[in-house]
Structure 1
Amino acid sequence: MSLVDKLVDGLAFGWGKNKEGQQNEALEAREKKVPTLTKYGYERPGGGACGWVEAPVEYQATSRQTAGLWPFCGAASSPLVGAPLGRNTINGQITCGDPISLYIKGIVSAPSGFIMALNGRGKSTIAVRWALSLIDAGFLILVLGDLKPDYAGVVKETGGQVLTVAPGLSAINPLDAGPAWALLEKLPPKMQAAQRSEIHNRRLNTLRGLVELALGDVLTEKKNEGTVLSMAIRHASEKAESEDRQPLVSDVQDVLRDPPRDIIDMLVFDPELDEKTRNRKYFELTETLQRGLNSLGPEGPFGDVFCRETTEPMRLDRSVSFDVSAIDEANGTLRAAVQLVCWSYGQAGASALKDLASEGLIPERHHLMIMDELWQVLSADEQLVHRVNALTKLNRTKGLGQVLITHSMKDLQLSTPALTSIATGFLERSSVKVFGGLARNEMADLTQVVPMSQKEQDLLVSLSAEGGVDPKTNRTLPPPGRGRFLLKLGETTGSPFYMNLTAMERKIHDTNEAWANSMAAHRLEREMA
C-alpha cells in the first residue's frame, strides 16, 4: 500500500485501526445515517415526507366499458361523503350521505332529500343523523313543525332554539316578514325590491292557504278573490310599515271592510253604477273571502295562534325547532295550518340570509329544513299541495337544503291527476331518497316515480314486516326493518344499509317517550307472571 493509499484510508476510517475493521465501522455509520424510505417519502429534513398521500383518480363504469383495463380496476363503493349512516348490508362497507354534503361535492343536482317508510321503521332517525352531522359541519337546522316532537332534543343539545306554537301559549303571525326584516333596508335597492316581492308572495301564499283551510274550499279567480287578497295584503303592509310594525290579519280585514278605490274599481267594472250599488256588488264579491279571514280570529277554529304578533322571533344564528306537539293530534286541520305558517316563516328567515350574507351584513349560513309528517298537511286540505310546492321550489337558489318525510306513496295520491302530479313531484325532485319498509301494493306507484329493480322492491317489502314475540322471553321483538333502509342517489342503484343509534342519539331522540312508562310497566307484569 502506498503512502497516498494509507493517507486516504486514515482520513476515511480513522487512524490506529486495521483497514477491515475501519471499513466495517464506516459502513455501519453510513447505514445509520441513510434515511429510511417510506410511502410518505424519506424520513429526513427535505426528504419529501408528508402526512398524507393523495388518492389516485378513480372512475366508475360498467364492466363492458372497463373490460380492457383489467386487472387495473376494482369494484365501486358508495362515496364517503356526508353523514355516516351505517354499514352496507351486502358488502359491509360504510354508507354515507346527506343532501347538503352530496350537493356541495357535485354528486347530486339539488340539496333536497325525501324519506319514506312505514311507522316505527326509523324515518326520523335518519333526519336526526343528518341534522347532527350537518350541525357538526357548521350548518344550521330548521325543523318546521315538530309534531311529536322528534327533534326538540337534538336542537336543545346542540345549543339551538325551540319555539312552542299552540293556542293560548304562543302565536306566529302568518304575515310576519321574518326575523331579518330590520336588516333588509341595508341592502342595495335592487335586492330590497326582490326581497319585498318575495315577502309579499310568501304572505299571499300563506294567508290564502289558511283561508282555504278555514273555509274548506278554494278561493276562486271567478270572483278575483286571489287578486283582491293580494291587493289587500299590500295595502295592509304599507300601513303597518309606516307604523314600524308587521301587518296582522286584522289589518287585511280593515282594508276589505273599508276598501280603497283601486280594489273596488278592479272588481266592479261598470262606471255608470251609483256608489251604493257599486259598494253592494263589491261586498257580494268579497263576502266569502271576508268570512274566511274572520275565521282566523281568536274565536275561529285556529284560536289565537294566527291573529297576534309572533310571540318569540326566530334566531338567525342557530338551529331552530318549531315545537307544535302541544296541539291535539285530533285537530289535524290546526296542525296542518300551523305547519304551513311555520314553513313560511322559517323559510323567510333562512332565505333573507343569502342576500344579507352576500352584502357582508351577517356571516354566511346555510340551513337544512326538515319538513316532517307531510301527510298531515295534504290530508287536511289537498289544495295545500300548491302552497307546499311554492315553498319548496326555490330552496336551492336560496342556499337552503330540505328534507320531506312521510309514510307511503298513498300520502301523495290525491283526488285528481293534477294534484297527484304536484305531490309526486316532491319525491321526483329530491336528489337523495331514503326508503324503509313499504307494502307490496306501494311498488307500482313508487316505480312510476323512482326506477327500481325487482330486488330493490323485494327488499323494501321484506322490511315492512311487523315484529313478533320471542317465545323464550315473551318479549315483543321490534320490526325486522327498523333501522334498515335503501339509499338512492338520483336513478342509480340503491345502497341498502343498517343504522345503529349512538347512546347520545337514543337519549335525545325517543319517539316512544309518551309510551315509555306503560311499556315498562307492561314488561314488569309479564316478567312477574
Structure 2
Amino acid sequence: MSKRSPRKQRKKFSKGKREQTKSKREVRPQRPPMRGWLGRGRGSSSYVQAADEWRGTTVQVCGLWPYAIGTGTPMVGVPLGRHIHTGATLCCDPISWFQRAKLISNPSAFVLGKPGLGKSTIVRRMATGLAGYGVMPLVLGDLKPDYVDLIEALGGQVITLGRGRGYLNILDPGEAGEAAARLRQAGYSREAAQVLADAHGRRHTMVSALLTILRSSPPTDREETIIDRALKYLDAHHDGVPVLGDLLRVIQDGPAEVRAVALDRGDDARYQAITENLEASLIGLVGGGRLGETFARPTTNPMRRDAPVVYDVSAIDDSEMDLQAATLLACWSAGFGTVNVANALADAGLEPRRHYFVILDELWRALRAGRGMV
C-alpha cells in the first residue's frame, strides 16, 4: 500500500465533500422570487395580479377541490342519527358539548323550526340520552303533552296543572326555607341568606308577571315597591306558607311598613286611592278572572329535586293564551328555584352534585303575553 501524508488525505476528502455538496445543490430546484424571475423576458412584474377565481359544483371541479370528504362530527354526546351527507354518526347535546367536548361556551341550545319537523322529538332524544348519563330532565311546562310518557318511563314526577286539576302557589318558596335552615346549621349563614333572598325575588317577580299578563301592562314603580314590602311583612308575621289572598289582605290592612313606601302621608283616603288599582288586580287573581284560581291556592304537588320532573299543562285550552303564558312563567319560576336550592346545598357539601337538563317549551307564548314581559 502506498503511503500518503495526512495533509493530502484531508485535501482529497474535503474536495470530494465539496463536489458532493455541489451536486446536491445543482439537483435542488430553484424557485422564482415573489415577483418573478428578474431579467428581460423572464416574467418579472412589479405588480402581482390576483388569481382568477372560478365557481363550479363539486361534481364539475372535483379534481381541483381538495376537500372531497367532509370531516366527521365529534363522537361526544347523545347519538341523534346519521349525517345526511357523510353517513357518519351524529352526536350532540348541550351539556356534553360544553362539559366534555369543550365545543360551546354555554350549556344551552335554542331549537327553532317550523311546526311538525321534530323539534320536540330531538329534545326528547337528548333528554333520554342524558338521563343515561346521570343528568335529570326537568320539563317546566308541557303543553302538548310531549314529555309526560318519557318522564313516567324514567320514574319521574308528573305535576298536572289546570283549572280544577292542580294548583301552583306562586308565593310558595318551595324548599328554600328548609335549605336555608340546613345551611345555617352547617355554618353557611351567608349562603342561607342568599337562598332566601333568591326565593323572595322569584315570588316578587311572579306577582309582577301575573299583574302584567292580567293588565297587559307592567305595574307601576310604586306598586312594585308596595308588593315587595308586603311580601317581606308576610315573611315576618305570617305562619306557614302564604297565598295571594294573604298578600291582598296585607295591602288592604295597610300596616305601617307598607304605608311608608306607599307615601300616603298618614292619610287613609290617600292610601286607599294609591292601592286601589293594585287591590283590584289582586282580587282578579284571587277570586277567579281570566287566570282563575290556579295560582291562589296552596300547591297541590310540590316539586322534587332528586328526580326527573314534568309540569303537565296540556289541560289548558289553546284559546286561554293568557292562562297558558302565566302557567309557563310559574313553572319556570318554581323549577329554577328548585335548581338554585339544589346547587346551594351541593356547593356547601350537604348534598351530592346534581345536573339538570331544563326544557322550556313554547317560549313564544310567554313573550307575547303582554308588554314588559321581556
Q: What TM-score do you get using the length of structure 1 for normalisation?
A: 0.55
Write out per-residue CA displacement over residues 193-245 of structure 1, whole angstroms, 9 at most, x where no aligned residue.
11111111111111110111112222122xx11111111111122223xx2x2
**1:473-488 equivalence runs, <5 A:** none
Identity of paired residues, percent? Answer: 36
Pick aligned residue for 2:315 from 316, 326, 337: 326
For residue 83 of structure 2, what is the amino acid of its counterpart? N
Q: CA deviation at 1:122?
A: 0.6
- Determine the structure 2 residue equivalent to 1:81: 76
- Determine the structure 2 residue equivalent to 1:363: 352
Write out per-residue CA displacement over residues 246-283 of structure 1, whole angstroms, 9 at most, x where no aligned residue.
2211121111011121322223275xxxx4xx221122
CA distance, structure 2, for counterparts of residue 349 and residue 260 of structure 1: 32
- Does 2:149 correspond to 1:149? no
Contact kept in structure 1, 2:120 and 2:146, CA below 8 Å: yes
Q: CA deviation at 1:75?
A: 5.8
Write out per-residue CA displacement over residues 146-184 of structure 1, whole angstroms, 9 at most, x where no aligned residue.
001100011001111110011111100011112453232
- Determine the structure 2 residue equivalent to 1:225: 223
Q: CA deviation at 1:349?
A: 0.8
Contact kept in structure 1, 2:264 and 2:270, CA below 8 Å: no
Greater radius of gyration (CA): 2
Contact kept in structure 1, 2:248 and 2:282, CA below 8 Å: yes
Contact kept in structure 1, 2:72 and 2:88, CA below 8 Å: yes
Contact kept in structure 1, 2:82 and 2:89, CA below 8 Å: yes
Contact kept in structure 1, 2:233 and 2:257, CA below 8 Å: no
Mind listing any 5+ residue stretches in structure 2 that lack a counterpart? Answer: 1-65
- Determine the structure 2 residue equivalent to 1:195: 195
The 3 A distance-change label for structure 1 pair 94 and 375 is same
- Does 2:243 correspond to 1:248? yes
- Does 2:310 correspond to 1:315? no
The 3 A distance-change label for structure 1 pair 302 and 127 is same
CA distance, structure 2, for counterparts of residue 332 and residue 313 of structure 1: 25
- Does 2:174 correspond to 1:185? no
Contact kept in structure 1, 2:216 and 2:369, CA below 8 Å: no
- Does 2:211 correspond to 1:216? no
For residue 335 of structure 1, what is the amino acid of its counterpart? Q
CA distance, structure 1, for counterparts of residue 72 and residue 194 of structure 2: 44
Pick aligned residue for 1:239 from 227, 234, 237: 237
State which drifts further: 351-360 or 332-341: 351-360
- Determine the structure 2 residue equivalent to 1:303: 292
Contact kept in structure 2, 1:179 and 1:316, CA below 8 Å: no
Contact kept in structure 2, 1:178 and 1:346, CA below 8 Å: no
For residue 209 of structure 2, what is the amino acid of its counterpart? G
- Determine the structure 2 residue equivalent to 1:169: 165
Q: CA deviation at 1:125?
A: 0.5
- Determine the structure 1 residue equivalent to 2:48: none
The 3 A distance-change label for structure 1 pair 259 and 362 is same
**1:356-435 equivalence runs, <5 A:** 356-385=345-374
For residue 149 of structure 1, what is the amino acid of its counterpart? P
Q: SS of the residue aligned with 2:110?
A: strand
Q: SS of the residue aligned with 2:357?
A: strand
CA distance, structure 1, for counterparts of residue 327 and residue 313 of structure 2: 8
- Determine the structure 2 residue equivalent to 1:52: none
CA distance, structure 2, for counterparts of residue 139 and residue 238 of structure 1: 37
Q: SS of the residue aligned with 1:265?
A: helix
- Determine the structure 2 residue equivalent to 1:206: 206
Q: SS of the residue aligned with 1:264?
A: helix
Q: CA deviation at 1:108?
A: 0.8
Q: SS of the residue aligned with 1:285?
A: helix
Write out per-residue CA displacement over residues 333-368 of structure 1, whole angstroms, 9 at most, x where no aligned residue.
111111110110111111110111222322221111
CA distance, structure 2, for counterparts of residue 282 and residue 180 of structure 1: 33
For residue 182 of structure 1, what is the amino acid of its counterpart? E
CA distance, structure 2, for counterparts of residue 159 and residue 180 of structure 1: 25
CA distance, structure 2, for counterparts of residue 246 and residue 159 of structure 1: 29
CA distance, structure 2, for counterparts of residue 323 and residue 255 of structure 1: 32
Pick aligned residue for 1:113 from 109, 113, 116: 109
Aligned residues: 302
Write out per-residue CA displacement over residues 89-127 of structure 1, whole angstroms, 9 at most, x where no aligned residue.
122222211111111122211111100001110110111
Q: SS of the residue aligned with 1:112?
A: coil
- Determine the structure 2 residue equivalent to 1:130: 126
- Determine the structure 2 residue equivalent to 1:12: none
For residue 228 of structure 2, what is the amino acid of its counterpart? S
Mind listing any 5+ residue stretches in structure 1 that lack a counterpart? Answer: 1-70, 386-529
- Determine the structure 2 residue equivalent to 1:470: none
RMSD: 1.7
For residue 256 of structure 2, what is the amino acid of its counterpart? R
The 3 A distance-change label for structure 1 pair 139 and 204 is same
Q: SS of the residue aligned with 2:285?
A: coil
Write out per-residue CA displacement over residues 444-475 of structure 1, whole angstroms, 9 at most, x where no aligned residue.
xxxxxxxxxxxxxxxxxxxxxxxxxxxxxxxx
Q: What TM-score do you get using the length of structure 2 for normalisation?
A: 0.77
State which drifts further: 178-187 or 247-256: 178-187
Contact kept in structure 1, 2:191 and 2:344, CA below 8 Å: yes
CA distance, structure 1, for counterparts of residue 237 and residue 350 of structure 2: 27
For residue 277 of structure 2, what is the amino acid of its counterpart? T
For residue 380 of structure 1, what is the amino acid of its counterpart? A
Write out per-residue CA displacement over residues 301-343 of structure 1, whole angstroms, 9 at most, x where no aligned residue.
2222111110011111110000001111111111111111011
